[in-house]
Structure 1
Amino acid sequence: MNQKLRVLYFKAGGSPEVQWGKFNMIQAERRLLANALLDFSNQRFILLSEACIPLFNFSTVYNYLIGSNMTFVEAYDEPGPVGRGRYNHRMKPLITLDQWRKGAQWFEMDRDLAIEIVSDVKYFSVFGKYCKGSCYSDEHYIPTFVSVNFWEKNSNRTLTWVDWSRGGPHPTRFIRTDVTIELLEMMRTATTCKYNGNTTNICYLFARKFYPNSLDRLLRFAPKVMMFNS
């Protein structure tokens, strides 16, 4: 069977309505996965937004994902108010504070995990009842669910590069003049990580957030830096 990647395009808004930080973001992600699962040739699923760009050409991305024996859901324990501070004790006994995890919503997963997420009733219901307001379930539901139940196959990292160094609720947004060859090279290879048990400097396949006015410079640099003509 010819294995396929499925890009799940996510943008707040549309029908049904999706609002930033609300539980309906999780509902939308599950609908995207459920729809993509209808095609049995889809084996890997990537959640991206309109502000994401690829850092490598398609063949590199395809081989990296199809050849991986892990899923890529960021899941970590954050002790502070924006991590454990969002936990609701009424989630016990199904979810304890020690099990509570945080991570970027920009996941990549295989078909088996996608099926588990769309068929989940227990964890999804608990989040629907108790992860409200400043809880931001899109940062906690999938990381917690995967960490508790499927941690053996999870890499605990995201494949989407984001700059949080400036602080605040949103990451750095890159405009046209920010886009340089040096920036793109840093995003592509400045980090080391594990891939199928081996150390690699290809840790991120995508990056965000890029404004539309950065497109002309991205297209100019893509053939040389990201090998898009390969």
Structure 2
Amino acid sequence: MNINESFDLVFYLNLATDQNARFSMEARLRELGVSAERFPTINGDSIRPRYVSNKETDIRWQYARYLTIRLALREARRRGARSVCFLEDDLIFHPNFKEIIKTIHLPEDWGIFCFGCDHQVAPDWIEGRIVRLRKAMFSHAFAVRGRDINRLLKFIRAASVRGADYGMDRILSETQDTIRAYGCFPNLASPPAYQPKKNGKYQGEYSNNGVQRFRVNELSDILERMATNRIDLVPGQTSLNAVKKVGFLFLTKGDLNHPEIWREYFSGYEDRVVVLSHPKYPKHVKSSVLTDTIIDQLIETRWGEVSLVRATRNLLSNALEIDDISHFILLSESCVPIQSLGTLLKRLSLDSRSRFRYGGYSRGTPIQKSRAQRIREIPERCWVFQPQWWLMDRKMALFAGLPDFTHLFEDVVASDEMYFGSVLTYQGIPLEGNVVNQPITWTWWEHDAGSPSAWTTLESSRHGRGILEDMVNSGAFFARKFPPGADIGKYGLHHES
């Protein structure tokens, strides 16, 4: 989709007294390559109380928006526009909006199309990023087809006669059984997370990342359909992420440091586990845990280089070919489990979402930011920094693992600590609501250290018992780094309680 080619008229709505918002919006539109005409917003403070039943300032501004859009629709009709698009001047666009919008195509029978909304009822997935709206609230970024302008104006007049509140969000939601309404999924545009109110500000229906804050569980099936391109999934019954088998993906130098711990960990759950490995030195693999697990697509890896991401993608690609695997866990040879496999499976049965610690660009260290700045193709707000080790459910693994963006990361040091979270966001797949922001693997970093601490014995370390307590109370399922001979096994943390 090209905004200006798809819609005859593009209006951005702006209050005459808010020149800062006008200049800011015009700058954003230039960045997106969108040409838009300013349409003046009616000032809510100028609305006389007799025109609204409630004298609250918020209601008067709500009525002002209603009047503004009604006038803009009439203007589009007067000009004979085949379609008209409305954009609020405080709109938050997805950071990769310019590229993602190119992948979207308007359905032939569309009447209303929105670029982001708050779904009151789960929509129907159509194809790609397109959903058919069933009951969705929006008025900040949407388009109306010319032939449906009169029908929408009738809804607006009827709402006025009924004495319903004049919120355009509600009016538009009521049209969706009559006018074919579609939208982007996930959202590509949203109002600010914090919106003005008479006595300060309140948190609205959207997060800072444009993700709706309520009724999110109803939307999980939509991403599953997108990930597999399958429309036949039955909502809530055939979830891709129902816990079937867990794929343990070992990215190692050679053999596991503690194969005896892993044998005990997997014991009794052999039918729930698939193990795959990518060793740097395959001849060093001797333990029964990793024998017969080595994938065919081995590549030479070097610390800090994108080759580690490519090796990880090869592991993930092989695992995704096994339909029974619902969750994927990336681990190294120095990792050991610090909770039982039964506990992991139970936790995933209660909450099947992906898990890894992540943070956006603003939370990155100076080194991380400088590395990210080397890749100009990825917008700043798309950057996500995360540990190398993660747990992903199948739908997120499909989005993260199938498209190959490694060519962008050729010259970036430690790209494995930013690749997967960043490419998900770059594709418009929100981590918020889909990833539990918690580490799955415990590590201990000394100040200014280039790598996490390795532990031969915990009791005799200068940190003493505090390290063990920190580890078991972390909530992580695994821990590292434990070299061969480390006494971590004596604590039996991996055993069933």
Q: TM-score, normalised by structure 2?
A: 0.39
CA offset at residue 129 of structure 1? Answer: 3.4
**Greater relative contact order (Cα < 8 A, sep 6+):** 1
| Aligned counterpart, 2:420 | 142
Distance 2:357 2:365 in 1: 17
* Aligned partner of residue 355 in structure 2, secondary structure: coil
CA offset at residue 227 of structure 1? Answer: 6.0
* Aligned partner of residue 212 in structure 1, secondary structure: coil
* Aligned partner of residue 166 in structure 1, secondary structure: coil
Distance 2:495 2:408 in 1: 45
Residue in structure 1 matching 2:436, options 128, 143, 155: 155
5+ residue gaps, structure 2: 1-241, 254-279, 282-297
* Aligned partner of residue 250 in structure 2, secondary structure: strand
Distance 2:345 2:396 in 1: 18
Q: Comparing both structures, which one devotes a greater share of its residues to strand?
A: 2
CA offset at residue 48 of structure 1? Answer: 0.6
Identify the range of structure 1 (72-81 vs 155-164) with the bigger mean alpha-carbon deviation: 72-81
| Aligned counterpart, 1:195 | none
The aligned runs of 1:1-230 (5 Å cut-off) are 3-12=244-253, 13-14=280-281, 15-77=298-360, 78-88=363-373, 90-92=375-377, 95-121=378-404, 124=405, 127-134=406-413, 136-148=414-426, 149-151=429-431, 152-176=433-457, 177-178=460-461, 183-189=467-473, 191=474, 203-214=475-486, 217-222=487-492, 226=493, 228-230=495-497
Tell me the amino acid that sits aligned with residue 469 of structure 2: E
Task: Note if contact 1:106-1:160 (Cα within 8 Å) is conserved in structure 2.
Answer: yes
Task: Note if contact 2:440-2:476 (Cα within 8 Å) is conserved in structure 1.
Answer: yes
Deviations 1:153-195, CA, capped at 9 Å, x for gaps: 0123321111113322101111134497663332121x4xxxx
Decide whether aligned partners of structure 1 residues 3 and 146 sit closer, same or farther in structure 2, where only a CA change above 3 A counts: same
CA offset at residue 130 of structure 1? Answer: 4.6
Identify the range of structure 1 (178-187 vs 64-73) with the bigger mean alpha-carbon deviation: 178-187
The Cα RMSD (Å) is 2.4
Task: Note if contact 1:73-1:143 (Cα within 8 Å) is conserved in structure 2.
Answer: no
Task: Note if contact 2:356-2:439 (Cα within 8 Å) is conserved in structure 1.
Answer: yes
Larger Rg computed on CA atoms? 2
- Count of matched residue positions in the alignment of Structure 1 and Structure 2: 206
Deviations 1:93-129, CA, capped at 9 Å, x for gaps: xx211221211010100011111222214xx1xx423
Task: Note if contact 2:352-2:393 (Cα within 8 Å) is conserved in structure 1.
Answer: no
Tell me the amino acid that sits aligned with residue 161 of structure 1: W
Q: Comparing both structures, which one devotes a greater share of its residues to helix?
A: 1
